[in-house]
Structure 1
């Protein structure tokens, strides 16, 4: 869409309406904001609940597989089968223990070997599933037990409650989620209670699993819609009030000002004012530079250097982000390719792409062109997918990511946990790495909840075999904390600020002892 038409369709009616009716925009806007908030919260709760059911089905599917393997050794002595049970605990994700039963007795466990505990069949929903608040080994940690039976023998596979509570927390950090199994339910803190949970007042939804006898309840607490409006829509409400009071001259000024940024971006792109800055990525073990993230800066002839927060969202909305990124990749190839030997093999080169770019078939050719510039050296090109706009899975995106993967081009999720996608991208696309948002890193040593969430993200990445990159590292304490938890790559002001390519290459030469 032409930029002038875009500005006319989106801005002119709003300004004309505000000028004509001073009070009506506020009244109608308030009603619409409230309705959209309730609708958005309901949709968010439903999406989060579906995703939680999918993840729990995945965990229980692993547990069922472990139980099936255990049952293949039914009838053998416990001494002969104990090693098999322990092997399942060691290799199957999310499974904490595996036990064998005969009749109403548990006769062999992966933890203690021979056992004489009672099975208590009546406590299992449909004879298959039981949610417990804890056991004698871990009385304060809930657990979910899956039972599989073949004849007189059965197998019990246990999922640790900490995985369950972490999933409830991480699927969507704003909504409340609860796991229901029969007459027991677990909240996001891992507490297990009896009876039915109190229905959530806003956006309440309950979804039953089609594979196992459990449900997930989602929604928001009382007053969440007002808190959401205060946090998200208050600027819009303030703008509606202002539009009802401003004069015709002010409206005219706003009209002209509103259309100017998009046209200015188009002019700046043609003038080559968008320049690449590089921020180093370091090995968490020794601080050695292993790569760089390419960041876009606007070198405005009058305003000076303009940060990306001010123009990237507008570029995405106006459709200019694709040619701007293509121009940035071209500049990076021109500036860095002649120094491929200095960078070395396997140099990590991260470039941000938006959701709209993933539907453009030219992205694949742009990446190949950038790789070809570095031959015979070959950096590891990593496309960092931002979460400002949700990327919908389609045949086109699947085909694009498959072709990129075949060329050794990796996909990373940028600012993980702060955007629209939450955990969804991990299961829709083949993701190679996660970039932990700096808001979690900043809270190291300050906020216990954020630290727990950070630890859960790191643990999840380990389970999914994903590379982890932590952004915003500014202190030695944060460095040590992340390195101790196995985070491999760090980025932040502690190691280097974003810098022009010339300064980055100069710093690389100094670190390499003056090599050219």
Structure 2
């Protein structure tokens, strides 16, 4: 923050402190990323194992049903029962063959009809399940045999091992899964082996089926955490280095500056140095202006234009952010309300608010006064909830937001997906819109994981009937990608940069005249 330097500091302690502040984010961030990666691997393996057990239970339930139908015909001649066996194999999913036994002798099969072969029930785990690497018909393909016995009769339903291996592969393509039945186990390639399964030291989890005697083992091989850090956390690692460098630089710069920055903020507020800049919001379909976000800028007499990241956090902590936002709304109303006819139907203006605003009763009066300035034209007013400070749901905040909704004021979550309270806000407050953070937009066409997250956010908004605003759109590829997925409103340098209020009015007039 541009504050007057009243005393000179010694260079060596200043450098040591700044270097420490640069290294601290790197050290803490590295520990947190490594710990979070191990937790993620464990959770991913557990989720994949649970899903595999669920799918295997479905397969074996189908096999159980087919075996139950087959046993209804255990007293019939094989010629009569064969048709039923073959019909079950044809219509029941996952069942490859179906056999009938009497006194542990296979006497009728869906494939050959009459048959004669002795089986050993002791090879079946709990007398019900057996895994084989293959049989005489398909020696190179594994199979899982379910045995259902009723007295001297039993039915053997075979599940094709290719279904099993495909399930192990497709449930989660990053973790390793193994199917264990008794003393045998199957890997994702479909191979069946005796003895203990291959080791999976990272995130290892064993999920037992509650219905059938088998288990699914999930986990990752040694060293997998580094590959996952590279795949999932490389942007965070880069961000840590950037934050470390920025932190060291800012600490070096701020070392000798005033210990009372709030005094400089108060001076700037009284001097009218905080001014509004407006960045248009455009319709993703036709590029039409449908609104604007009002951004606060500090035009310092010595330092020039100061970025909001440097003074907004201090303003929030000092409580001055409320008065600064009120002044910003007055300036926008003074400059824009005489041109209200240029805005058009549904044009909305958005302001950022913080936790401090939600404890001030004056926010409702500020919004009502702002709307009154634009009569008879009435643009929609949107308040964007920022997450630098957590907004706690209470009787005061709930009443405030209810009153604001009664005024027709919309609520939006800013930078959705980057803060730890975004989902909490969706649950607690009546949110009307979400703003997708520019970090996800920037990864379109670059990072598949971020694109998946972006698609999930869009899908979530669709299910919750929320308006979606994507900020940080800078390329035509990003615009086309978002428009294709139904994102209604876009914001970014591809369309317009934030501009002073006078320039914004001039641009509105130019668009109105077709210039």
**Equivalent residue number for residue 500 of structure 2:** 500
**Equivalent residue number for residue 468 of structure 2:** 468
**Equivalent residue number for residue 284 of structure 2:** 284
Contact kept in structure 1, 2:204 and 2:219, CA below 8 Å: no
- Residues 1:378 and 1:41: Cα distance change in structure 2 (over 3 Å): same
- Residues 1:134 and 1:233: Cα distance change in structure 2 (over 3 Å): farther
- Residues 1:489 and 1:262: Cα distance change in structure 2 (over 3 Å): same
Q: Distance in 2 between matches of 1:179 and 1:285?
A: 48
**Equivalent residue number for residue 323 of structure 1:** 323
- Residues 1:195 and 1:299: Cα distance change in structure 2 (over 3 Å): closer
Task: Using the TM superposition, give the Cα deviation of residue 227 of structure 1 relative to its aligned residue in structure 2, in angstroms.
Answer: 11
TM-score by length of 1: 0.58
Instruction: Indicate yes or no: 2:268 matched with 1:268.
Output: yes
Q: Distance in 2 between matches of 1:471 and 1:372?
A: 29
Q: Distance in 2 between matches of 1:181 and 1:413?
A: 40
Where do 1:38-437 residues align within 5 Å?
A: 105=65, 116=92, 141-142=170-171, 182-183=207-208, 194=217, 254=255, 257-259=257-259, 261-437=261-437
- Residues 1:446 and 1:336: Cα distance change in structure 2 (over 3 Å): same
Q: Distance in 1 between matches of 2:33 and 2:261?
A: 32
- Residues 1:454 and 1:362: Cα distance change in structure 2 (over 3 Å): same
Contact kept in structure 1, 2:62 and 2:94, CA below 8 Å: no
**Equivalent residue number for residue 444 of structure 1:** 444
Q: Distance in 1 between matches of 2:21 and 2:273?
A: 38
Write the deviation string for residues 164-197 of structure 1: whole angstroms up to 9, x where unpaired: xxxxxxxxxxxxxx9989448xxxxxxx962588
Q: Distance in 2 between matches of 1:412 and 1:267?
A: 31
- Residues 1:484 and 1:25: Cα distance change in structure 2 (over 3 Å): closer
- Ranges in structure 1 where 5+ consecutive residues have no aligned partner: 1-6, 8-14, 57-97, 108-113, 123-132, 144-177, 185-191, 203-220, 243-249
Contact kept in structure 2, 1:183 and 1:195, CA below 8 Å: no
CA RMSD, 1 decimal:
5.2
- Residues 1:116 and 1:352: Cα distance change in structure 2 (over 3 Å): same
Q: Distance in 2 between matches of 1:396 and 1:181?
A: 48
Contact kept in structure 2, 1:337 and 1:373, CA below 8 Å: yes
Q: Distance in 2 between matches of 1:226 and 1:286?
A: 38
Contact kept in structure 2, 1:281 and 1:490, CA below 8 Å: yes
Q: Distance in 2 between matches of 1:378 and 1:179?
A: 59
Pick the structure with greater CA Rg: 2
**Equivalent residue number for residue 174 of structure 1:** none
Write the deviation string for residues 274-324 of structure 1: whole angstroms up to 9, x where unpaired: 111111100000101111110111122233222212211221122211110
Task: Using the TM superposition, give the Cα deviation of residue 512 of structure 1 relative to its aligned residue in structure 2, in angstroms.
Answer: 1.6
Contact kept in structure 2, 1:134 and 1:140, CA below 8 Å: no
Q: Distance in 2 between matches of 1:29 and 1:440?
A: 28
TM-score by length of 2: 0.58
Contact kept in structure 2, 1:104 and 1:118, CA below 8 Å: no
Task: Using the TM superposition, give the Cα deviation of residue 498 of structure 1 relative to its aligned residue in structure 2, in angstroms.
Answer: 0.8
Contact kept in structure 2, 1:353 and 1:383, CA below 8 Å: yes
- Residues 1:139 and 1:402: Cα distance change in structure 2 (over 3 Å): farther
Contact kept in structure 1, 2:340 and 2:374, CA below 8 Å: yes
Q: Distance in 2 between matches of 1:181 and 1:456?
A: 29
**Residue 258 of structure 1: SS of its match in structure 2?**
coil
Q: Distance in 2 between matches of 1:513 and 1:471?
A: 27
Write the deviation string for residues 250-275 of structure 1: whole angstroms up to 9, x where unpaired: 9xx945x1325321111010111111
Task: Using the TM superposition, give the Cα deviation of residue 404 of structure 1 relative to its aligned residue in structure 2, in angstroms.
Answer: 1.3
Contact kept in structure 2, 1:412 and 1:432, CA below 8 Å: yes
Q: Distance in 1 between matches of 2:285 and 2:238?
A: 42
- Residues 1:180 and 1:286: Cα distance change in structure 2 (over 3 Å): farther
Contact kept in structure 2, 1:282 and 1:291, CA below 8 Å: yes
Aligned residue pairs total 373
Task: Using the TM superposition, give the Cα deviation of residue 354 of structure 1 relative to its aligned residue in structure 2, in angstroms.
Answer: 1.3
Contact kept in structure 1, 2:63 and 2:94, CA below 8 Å: no
